[in-house]
Structure 1
Amino acid sequence: MRYIMGIQIGDREQEALRVQEVLSKHGCIIKTRLGLHEATDGQCASNGLILLEFIKGKDEEVKQITNELSALESVQVKQMTFTV
């Protein structure tokens, strides 16, 4: 299976450190990470989106990351799963 995860962070100032701690803890299974947020001249949005692609065969650890991130107040987690 191949997992793609979307992480919507509602309050980056409040949750960014906690999200980063979870991602660092499981960093060895993250193949690709892309962070997106609105940024204009002199302003940065308070919310953001992170997209992750995981190394194949790490189903249980992906579930663990999902549970840890979902426990954070302003964080939503969505997954896409592809069979190869």
Structure 2
Amino acid sequence: MSKIIMGIKLMERMKTASKFQELLSEYGCDICTRLGLHVASSDSCSPNGLIILEFKDNADDAAAEFEEKVYKIADATIQKMVF
């Protein structure tokens, strides 16, 4: 049984946010936890974002598909922890 935690650094998030959100919705049944981080202040918003996802147990295939699709829609760096 494997547990996958995926960290995604999304570049130019404002350009790809809607497509990325659609992708999150598509895999919503495979994602247990989602946390989005970015720097925001009163006069600016960070162009990049960090998203941390926890996939449900044994969702290896779904996580691999998700990762492949992220790279198709966005300039991103992805790192994974597999337990």
TM value normalised by structure 1: 0.90
Task: Return the letter of the residue paired with 1:9.
Answer: L
Task: Return the letter of the residue paired with 1:42.
Answer: D
Asked if the contact 1:12–1:46 (Cα under 8 Å) also holds between the matched residues in 2, the reply is yes
Residue of structure 2 in register with 1:29 after alignment: 30
Cα RMSD (Å)? 1.1
Residue of structure 1 in register with 2:51 after alignment: 50
TM value normalised by structure 2: 0.91
Task: Return the letter of the residue paired with 1:20.
Answer: Q
- Regions of 4+ moved over 3 Å: none
- When you count strand as a share of all residues, which structure comes out higher? 1
Aligned length: 82
Residue of structure 1 in register with 2:62 after alignment: 61
The alpha carbon displacement at 1:42 in A equals 2.9
Asked if the contact 1:69–1:77 (Cα under 8 Å) also holds between the matched residues in 2, the reply is no
Gaps of 5+ in 2: none
CA deviation vs aligned residue, 1:13-62 (integer Å, no higher than 9, x gap): 11111111111101011100000000112321111010000110111111
Residue of structure 2 in register with 1:38 after alignment: 39
Asked if the contact 2:10–2:74 (Cα under 8 Å) also holds between the matched residues in 1, the reply is no
Residue of structure 2 in register with 1:80 after alignment: 81
Task: Return the letter of the residue paired with 1:67.
Answer: E
* % identical equivalent positions: 38
